[in-house]
Structure 1
Amino acid sequence: MVGAGKKISYSEVSSHNTPNDCWVIINAKAYNVTNFLSEHPGGDEVLLAAAGMDASDEFEDAGHGSAARLMLDEFYVGEIDQTTSPTKLTKNDPIKQHSNEQRMSTLVTVKLLLYIAPFAILGIASLYSL
């Protein structure tokens, strides 16, 4: 691993939150996923929604298999310095819930568009071919 032994603060990870510089935290480790955005099977929106943040719950909830876990090694930057941890929000915290609701809403919208758009294009094309 490239960054083995390097300690990284939460605030340092949080500054990497753009499509051109995207880091995430998964299970207390920082990963630079910038070059993986276009290859992510769930789309870049999923990673960008978690950019600069702890995405451990989302990663685990998505049911990533051993192949995805092995891929993390190539994006590894370093260990998170737990002493820099921001105040943890609980699942019942309204701020955390709002953030997750926004993420889910965005994800659902994107997935719907991915399925509906081809049918809409086909429908429009068939109208013009008549």
Structure 2
Amino acid sequence: MASEKTFTFDDVSKHTTKKDLYIVIHEKVYDCTDFVDEHPGGEEALLEVAGIDASDAFEDVGHSDEAREILQKFLIGSLRRLPGDEPLHGPVPTQTSSTFSGIKLLLLLLVSAAAVHFSGAYKYLEDVDAREYAERVVAVLNGQSLDTK
């Protein structure tokens, strides 16, 4: 490409249909219109990222070197961000709620284990027959009574 064409966010965002589909990957603009029907992930995969920055989605899938070569055939220019443009993709989360929940769960388990140990409750747990306990739990789940008499 002798003189690379530049596109703004506004330009790219107008190309979001199966018959006219632009995507941005790492600040490069690609016209993937002719590839929509051939995309191994189906047309939905491309339509979801049409007109926006698809960099994260492209990298998350882990495309092969061959896929990257195919992509180069559709390169039509580069993205020129204007002042005030929002990022074309969402902010990268620094901490997910699942990570936070995992940390809280680990802390809860550690505190519970310490409480059981220091309260002496573990001595009671040693006397419980695990098989009998499991059978009773299954019985309760099946709606049976726990009356053993």
Where structure 1 has 5 or more consecutive residues not aligned to the other structure, the ranges are 93-130
The 2-side partners of 1:31 and 1:83 are apart by 19
Query: 2:92 aligns to what?
Result: 91
Residue 83 of structure 1, CA deviation = 2.8
Query: 1:70 aligns to what?
Result: 69
The 2-side partners of 1:84 and 1:71 are apart by 32
Residue 4 of structure 1, CA deviation = 4.9
TM-score (norm 2): 0.56
Residue 17 of structure 1, CA deviation = 0.4
Amino acid at match of 2:7: I
Note the aligned Cα RMSD (angstroms). 1.8
Identity of aligned residues (%): 40
- CA offsets per residue over residues 11-33 of structure 1, 9 Å max, x none? 10000001110110001000000
Moved over 6 A (4+): none
Alignment of 1:1-130 (within 5 A): 1=1, 4-83=3-82, 86-88=85-87, 89-92=90-93
Structure having the larger proportion of residues in helix: 1
| Structure of higher CA gyration radius | 2
Where structure 2 has 5 or more consecutive residues not aligned to the other structure, the ranges are 94-149
Residue 91 of structure 1, CA deviation = 3.2
Structure number with higher relative contact order (C-alpha < 8 Å, ≥ 6 residues apart):
1
| Distance change in 2, residues 1:73/1:14 (3 Å) | same
Residue 81 of structure 1, CA deviation = 0.5
Q: How many residues align?
A: 91
| Distance change in 2, residues 1:10/1:28 (3 Å) | same
Residue 37 of structure 1, CA deviation = 0.5
